[in-house]
Structure 1
Amino acid sequence: MRPEINAVTDRIIARSQKTREEYLALIESHNSKTPSRERLAAANQAHTYAACPALDKSELIGGKWPNIGIVTAYNDMLSAHEPLKDYPDIIKTAVRKYGAIAQVAGGVPAMCDGVTQGFEGMELSLFSRDIIAMSTAIAMSHDVFDAGICLGVCDKIVPGLMIGALRFGWLPFIFCPSGPMTSGISNSEKAKTRQLYAEGKVGRKELLESESKAYHEEGTCTFYGTANSNQMMMEFMGVHMPNSAFINPRNPLRAALVKATGVRASKITHLGDEYLPLGKVISEKAIVNAMVGLCATGGSTNHMLHLPAMARAAGIIINWQDFEDISEATPLLARVYPNGPADVNHFHAAGGIAFLIDQLLEGGLLHDDVLTVMGKGLSNYTQEPFLDGDLAVWQAGTKKSHDEDILRPLSNPFAPTGGLRLVKGNIGRGCVKISAVSQDHHEIKAPARVFTSQADFHEAFKAGELDKDVVVVVRGQGPRANGMPELHKLTPALGVLQDKGFKVALLTDGRMSGASGKILAAIHVTPEALNGGAIAKIRDGDIIHINANGIIEALVNEKEWEERTATLPDMSYSHNDIGRELFTVFRNNAGAAEDGASQFEY
């Protein structure tokens, strides 16, 4: 192992000792060799199997077959989750052949940031993660299951499923995705049309036509945003069937992988000889592996919120300094849009996750000595699935990238360090994703223009007020202010300003999209403005210095800065309508961004 990775791992283990011990004690307290349902009274059990087919009912009543609970994020409005409709029936049929039963334990909400981007519904997006965690807990709370399968794909859904599942960490869980849609128009063509629309050079008809050619069928969006970063991390943490992340929904191999998920779940319960509880699979080393994967691929900044929240659900405490140090030690090996022109289908064809994990293991950047749902060793994930009849079988993955414009070996990285960085200074602490930002835009010193909403920014942009070097400050966007929406709608306009030759950057206590692009953006700034964070001290015209290598500061006289009063934004406009009034308790209790902006204390 590289000493830098070991050093981060060791300090996470030391920092988490008490909370991790408490968590593992929770798992041990549920240790049993009998089916979980047997501890319930007869009447309680009867409700469990009242609607079951005869065979399932007889085995639930008197047999020792394991019962697998399926938690699904299915809906047929969202392309990524529409394929999940048939998965429970596929799983049920598959596991019966291997002496197990599966039931849909419950559903969780799945909303799409692509639909709500720039509108009021986006303010519920981050909080939906914790609602999903609670919904998962409700589904599993019947306590009649011996394993779980989580069906979900996108931004907040997978982190929420993971948080909820980890609170039942004595059970094995396998995560099962739907895969990406096939490639539509190129991402660069899509981005160009968006920018032309922002400039008023094409209309809404042309914009919608372009978007519909990009998002055109069932499956996950093909750019490397939060949804596909989710799937990468599930592989690096060992909770998928190996290399199942990026198989398209219509590919016959996808159905075979769903079958294999059910069969494997039935074999790793506490009733058999391969007991692999989720709470032991998700260890400190597994979390470090996920961080390495995120940095090596230039993954979504959203996971600098989600991964701390997921880790904490397993008693593991991480922070942004851990990300920074891992990023410094991890070369960038992939360029997938927005970090390059290719999409995840091209990435998969070039060698994909199997090749990437193989390279990182060989370079001592990943811990191989971890548990996965396949047993001991992350090296299980250097294998690729193939069809044998209607079954999935695995064989060694490629040792060579098939396109070094997309995926490179450790000996020839795109950059010597990873794509995510910590920035800090008298404004607070924040994150920068630099993998898509060209080197000449990594630093800026320019006057601030302060806004408290995306709408105000767009008015100023359309009026030509921002045609200059500028650091756009959008504050009042943190979790306690308005639920920390993504501000991706700013990207096309900021891109226009940069293409005009102006030096431009974004500074915000909100989130940017997992598709963060070519603009230098210091995001997730904490403490947030509504908590009196120093971002609330910035005034129009203050010179702001942002350096992707670690700095966010207001170049204001130190004494004046200390004495300056924070201007707390009035967020009342953002607390009603489209259901936002129901989330007052969430806004009031949300944690800091660096802690995952979570509602939960354990």
Structure 2
Amino acid sequence: MKSIHPVLADVTSRIRERSAPGRQAYLARVEALRQRPRGAERMGCANVAHAFAALPGEDKLRIVAQKAPNIGIVTAYNDMLSAHQPYEGYPGQIRATAHRLGATAQVAGGVPAMCDGVTQGYPGMELSLFSRDTIAMGTAIALSHDVFDAALLLGICDKIVPGLLIGALHFGHLPCVFVPAGPMGSGLSNSDKAKVREQAAQGLVGREELLKAEQAAYHSAGTCTFYGTANSNQMLLEAMGLHVPGAAFIHPHDPLRTALTDEAVSTVLSLRQGQRDLPIGHLVDERSIVNAMVALLATGGSTNHLIHWVAVARAAGILIDWNDFSDLSGVVPLLARVYPNGSADVNQFQAAGGPGFVLRELMRAGLMHADAQAVAEGGIARHAELPALDGGRVRWHALPDQSGDSSVVRTADDPFSATGGLALLQGNLGRAVIKVSAVPDDRHVIEAPARVFDSQEGLHAAFKAGELERDVIVVVRFQGPKANGMPELHKLTPPLAVLQGRGHRVALVTDGRMSGASGKVPAAIHLSPEALAGGPLAKVRDGDIIRLDAKAGTLAVLLPDDEWAARPLAARTEEMADEAGHGLGRELFGGMRRNVASAEEGACTWL
């Protein structure tokens, strides 16, 4: 194993230095809470009676008289999300396992969990980003009963995992383990699904054929099989050591999945004070945050995490920014190609070696902190092992030296690319990020006239009218957190992919987000400051020449500096402002829109 890479060391060091005041204050709060007596001994008799009133008598005896540990379960179960439907029976399993181990468990609370796949392109998507902080607050409400000795967090998908993690870190004195449920089986391939979507965008197939393809792709319980935000979440949790090792991508109905959930119960109990003594506020430190960033880059993961993990780090008193991601991306090799960065899905990724193979290769190359802590005894190195059932028990064994499929996963000595899958863009339009791992090499530099839209509906109308049949950089603005909650603009992918497929040189520039499934079309996203906050994107006019250069890391309107500085900002119309704030519950999130920080600051509403 090589010594730690100097860039990794430098980035970690500057994060630690930058974060020192906030991290010290955070750890002081964690320590103060850790020094208190247990809840059942600390709280008043009426409080204790309320907390355990519904428990069977023997459980009350265990908690109060025998001082047995009590696990709080925070669940994002609903059966709207295919990924979360398997959680329905988890509380019963967890309680039974806790009993066998001499402990108790209670569902502390549930948190909302919306499916971005349902709301893509519709008003509900404007609640999506803010659902993350709502979930964090829901987690805090659940754990605020303050009678728990540990917590299990049941969540998988896009905003749910970051929200649960942010909430849990505000209870940093508790040991916590995340419990995944696994991906659905492979259906219609992601590439075939994308082809049908592009055909539908051109009017070549109708609704019936499109729906048939979509239902063949999304067909059962489990996480969607492309490598979007949900599955990137699972990769990052493995890299941070917050799962039982290797738990991320085991099918919901595999007997190993049941055994791994039981293992999560025993693991969280082992982290209690007096045993291994590792609360989540100590486990999540600068090393684990950097490990998550590296894992994201090495797998070409979701761009959403350049927002979410900034917020996660802040919840632990740690400050990271896009410069940190950019510098790491310059030295972290791309070791996985999973759709949309390749043709494989996550089941094929798992079969080829999965997260464990990638993490082992990064550690061997000195590109992860191999000394970072994890919920499993032995630290993060345990996540380079593969779980399997042996006589009804989970045992771990070493991964093969070589990939099971080199078209999906590769060693650090033979990467798909010498650098990571994400890049920072800067220029007179502000700062943005771009996912380059799936973009063809000849599309990393696009220079073309701008066509400006203030809504994604405007772009769709122009595409259908044939107005975009040329080289064009499409600007979609007033899509930032303050404007309308920063919805994902994944519905823009099919028409832009069609234009690119016809030979046009096209790109997207926006202060909004793309889905974690964004792919082959160059997209400068998360542009900060956003247009509504006075960002220069509000200056762009139709016909302006924009240059997007992912190689040089630049994004600019090609105008003289004095002319650009003097140009006024376009205002959002009253009609647009009213539409962004009303209907389908959007009024309830007005305070979040007013108070939200920028995308690069994690779009936090609680700072």
Same fold (TM over 0.5): yes
Q: Which residue of 2 aligns with 1:65?
A: 68
Query: Displacement, 1:395?
Result: 1.9
SS of the equivalent of 2:330 reads: helix
Q: Which residue of 2 aligns with 1:170?
A: 173
* RMSD of aligned alpha carbons: 0.9
2:41/2:64 contact within 8 Å kept: no
2:74/2:153 contact within 8 Å kept: yes
In 2: Cα distance, 1:299 partner to 1:453 partner: 26
Query: CA deviation digits over 1:336-361, x for unaligned, max 9?
Result: 00000000000000011111111110
In 1: Cα distance, 2:390 partner to 2:106 partner: 27
- Whether 2:43 is the aligned partner of 1:31: answer no
Of residues 412, 415, 419, the one that matches 1:413 is 415
Of residues 362, 365, 369, the one that matches 1:363 is 365
Of residues 104, 108, 121, the one that matches 2:107 is 104
Query: Displacement, 1:286?
Result: 0.3
The TM-score with structure 1 as length reference comes to 0.99
Q: Which residue of 1 aligns with 2:87?
A: 84
In 2: Cα distance, 1:73 partner to 1:33 partner: 29
Query: Displacement, 1:96?
Result: 1.2
SS of the equivalent of 1:329 reads: coil
1:37/1:143 contact within 8 Å kept: no
Of residues 413, 430, 438, the one that matches 1:428 is 430
Counterparts of 1:391-402 in structure 2 under 5 Å?
Answer: 391-402=393-404
Q: Which residue of 1 aligns with 2:581?
A: 575
Query: Displacement, 1:183?
Result: 0.3
Query: Displacement, 1:55?
Result: 1.9
Of residues 101, 125, 128, the one that matches 1:122 is 125
In 1: Cα distance, 2:37 partner to 2:68 partner: 10
Q: How many residues align?
A: 600
User: Which of structure 1's runs of 4+ aligned residues deviate more than 6 A?
Assistant: none
Q: Which residue of 2 aligns with 1:474?
A: 476
- Structure 2 unaligned blocks of 5 or more: none
The TM-score with structure 2 as length reference comes to 0.98
Query: CA deviation digits over 1:390-437, x for unaligned, max 9?
Result: 332222223220100000001110000000110010000000000000
- Specify the code of the residue in structure 2 equivalent to 1:13: R
- Whether 2:354 is the aligned partner of 1:352: answer yes
Query: CA deviation digits over 1:130-189, x for unaligned, max 9?
Result: 000000000000100010000000000000000000000010100011110010011111
Counterparts of 1:379-398 in structure 2 under 5 Å?
Answer: 379-398=381-400
- Whether 2:596 is the aligned partner of 1:593: answer no
Q: Which residue of 1 aligns with 2:320?
A: 318
2:500/2:506 contact within 8 Å kept: yes
Of residues 330, 334, 337, the one that matches 1:332 is 334
Cα 1:371–1:36 shift into 2, 3 Å: farther
- Specify the code of the residue in structure 1 equivalent to 2:388: F
Query: Displacement, 1:88?
Result: 1.0
1:509/1:526 contact within 8 Å kept: yes
Q: Which residue of 2 aligns with 1:232?
A: 235
In 1: Cα distance, 2:5 partner to 2:578 partner: 50
Q: Which residue of 1 aligns with 2:53?
A: 50
- Structure 1 unaligned blocks of 5 or more: none
Query: Displacement, 1:376?
Result: 4.6
Q: Which residue of 2 aligns with 1:277?
A: 279
Query: CA deviation digits over 1:307-365, x for unaligned, max 9?
Result: 00000000000000000000111000000000000000000000111111111100000
- Specify the code of the residue in structure 2 equivalent to 1:100: A
SS of the equivalent of 1:64 reads: coil
Of residues 137, 149, 154, the one that matches 2:157 is 154
In 2: Cα distance, 1:370 partner to 1:568 partner: 48
Query: Displacement, 1:377?
Result: 2.6
- Specify the code of the residue in structure 2 equivalent to 1:215: Y
Identity %: 56
Cα 1:519–1:303 shift into 2, 3 Å: same
- My pick for the range that moved more, 388-397 or 290-299, is 388-397
1:125/1:156 contact within 8 Å kept: yes
1:430/1:524 contact within 8 Å kept: yes
Counterparts of 1:521-532 in structure 2 under 5 Å?
Answer: 521-532=523-534
Q: Which residue of 1 aligns with 2:590?
A: 584
